[in-house]
Amino acid sequence: MTRVLSGSAVAKEIRAGVTAAAERLSAEGREPHLAVVVATADESTAAYVRSIGGAARKCGIRCSVVDLGPDATSIRIRSELEALSADPAVHGIILQTPLPPSADFDTLASAIDPAKDVDGANPLSLGLLAARLPAFAPATAEAVMVLLDHYEVPLSGANAVVVGRSTVVGKPAALLLLNRDATVSVCHRRTTDLAAHTLNADVVVVAAGQPGLLTGKHVGANTVVVDVGTNVEADGSLIGDVDFASVDGVAAALTPVPGGVGPVTTALLLQHTITSASR
Ligand code: ADP
């Protein structure tokens, strides 16, 4: 029997703490404020940003969407990030992807003040994380850890495989697992035999943006699978990177999509904003 590790209850618990803290801060005249910078006309991005805004407001966090439009130049985006970084009334800044083709995410994210970098997007935050210094981890990577901890999955000495090496998910997830004394392998597009790695793993984190990448053939009876994939199907529905039906019944545990890592990620973005506003 494969245990389904839901993120919804975990997210609810985090949001309850956020709501209480937001109320306290607002009473002190420090209303927590999250700014999301958008430079795309993509509808699924707009829906995601609306969901962050809705979740923030429900918890008592002000959320401003700064929509620069799909033709925004790098200079314009950078100056907005600098202005928000300098604004004492703003506590959290998210630079939403995708960006216009001419804009480089990592370069622009370096304009976000690390103290307000609630989604760990500034490459400096990744460096701080690697050095085990205080920094905001990318919320998705941290959500993986929060889920594993919530369901008491042992990490010290465990074999962990991260599939995907992106700066926003794969790499930080690998660092966070390493910081918890897991033995970490990172697989990617050029990995020749994915199953050889994952079959040996206690924990597999899949963040490749490839629907159906991980199947029942890739996992053993003791494997815990965390599916970070968020792929939008033609009909608008969301599916992960894991072939749920084929892994279900084989692995020990599996996070669902939707309802797994996603809700925890959003809750952590809000929690990070509270942490920033509390300083
Ligand atoms: P995300 O933002 O979800 O992390 P990206 O598109 O930025 O996704 O990165 C995708 C990552 O997934 C890359 O590191 C790539 O090497 C990895 N990847 C893509 N396809 C495969 C595959 N078939 N097997 C293993 N890793 C893959």
Judge whether 230 is annotated as a binding position.
yes
Percent of the chain clearing pLDDT 70 (strictly above): 100
Judge whether 166 is annotated as a binding position.
yes
Nearest partner of 218 among 201, 204, 199, judged by Cα: 199
Give the Å distance between the CA of 5 and the centre of ligand 1: 23
Q: What is the band of 115 on the pLDDT scale with cuts at 50, 70, 90?
A: very high
Judge whether 278 is annotated as a binding position.
no
> How many other C-beta atoms lie within 10 A of the C-beta of residue 97?
16
Ranking 177-181, 235-239, 261-265 by mean pLDDT, the lowest is 235-239
Give the Å distance between the CA of 188 and the centre of ligand 1: 6
Q: Is the ipTM of this complex over 0.90?
A: yes
Give the Å distance between the CA of 241 and the centre of ligand 1: 10
Please list every protein residue whose CB sits less than 6 Å from any atom of ligand 1.
Answer: 163-166, 168-170, 187-189, 191, 194, 207-210, 213
Q: What is the pLDDT of residues 172-231, one digit of tens each?
A: 999 999 999 999 999 999 999 999 999 999 999 999 999 999 999 999 999 999 999 999
Q: What is the band of 236 on the pLDDT scale with cuts at 50, 70, 90?
A: confident
Residue 261 has pLDDT above 90, yes or no: yes
Q: What is the mean pLDDT of the segment spanning 162-181? A: 98
* Superfamily covering domain 28-114: Leucine Dehydrogenase, chain A, domain 1 (3.40.50.10860)
- Number of residues in the chain: 279
Percent of the chain clearing pLDDT 90 (strictly above): 99
Region for 11 from its dihedrals, namely left if φ exceeds 0, alpha if ψ lies in -120 to 50, beta otherwise? alpha
Instruction: State whether CATH 2.30.110.10 applies to domain 139-262.
Output: no
Cα separation values, 89 from 28, 49, 124, 169, 260, Å: 13, 20, 23, 29, 32
Write out the residue limits of the CATH 3.40.50.10860 domain(s) in the chain.
28-114
